[in-house]
Amino acid sequence: MVNPPLSTNPVPVSPDSWKQAVCAAWHAAGNRLTEPRVRVLDAIIRYTTPFSAEQLYADLAQLADPPGRATVYRTIEQLSTSGWLARIHTQLGEAGYVPSLPGHLHHLICTNCGVVIAFAGCALDDLLARLSTQTDFAIEDHLLQLYGRCANCKKQC
């Protein structure tokens, strides 16, 4: 039987539904939705491009009664481990985070405006199997990020 062609689909991550989904997942896992942590989520969804932990902490520190550094870093760590944040590497070698969804996703990164688009449908299986055979390497994981210009920035050229 011939496999159907693998479909690749953009996965939209809308800020409000992302926050709701994270809260629901935390609740289901028995974590308390403390006010400082919800504030961290509120700050995260305001970014339109990847942010660093230090930047998030600095932005939150502008607020009255800001969450502590440990809360900010621990929340990012937890969200990242569970797939709610994706770690993005820019071409300048900086690392940042964007809201994402648990599961196997890859990302397109606009080098002009910094927007990040997630997509599902990883077509690397054949390549990985071939490489694994050729190199006798047990491949356990991979990272794929694509750089270029988003639809909006493409129009501006």
Interface ranges with Zn ion (CB under 5 A) = 110, 112-113, 115, 122, 124, 150, 153
Residue 76 Cβ vs Zn ion, minimum distance, rounded to whole Å: 23
Q: How many residues does the chain have?
A: 157
Residue 58 Cβ vs Zn ion, minimum distance, rounded to whole Å: 25
- C-beta closer to Zn ion: residue 23 or 122: 122
Determine if residue 80 is left, alpha or beta; phi over 0 gives left, psi from -120 to 50 gives alpha, anything else beta. Answer: alpha
Count CB atoms within 10 A of the CB of residue 21: 16
Residue 106 Cβ vs Zn ion, minimum distance, rounded to whole Å: 6
> Which of the 8 DSSP states describes residue 153?
H
Residues 10, 146 contacting (CB under 8 angstroms): no
- C-beta closer to Zn ion: residue 70 or 157: 157
Find where tokens 């539904």 sit. Answer: 17
Residue 128 Cβ vs Zn ion, minimum distance, rounded to whole Å: 9
Find where tokens 């809201």 sit. Answer: 99
- C-beta closer to Zn ion: residue 49 or 71: 49
- C-beta closer to Zn ion: residue 69 or 142: 142
Residue 122 Cβ vs Zn ion, minimum distance, rounded to whole Å: 3
Residue type, 154: K
Burial (CB count within 10 angstroms: exposed 0-12, middle 13-18, buried 19+), residue 49: middle
- C-beta closer to Zn ion: residue 40 or 86: 86
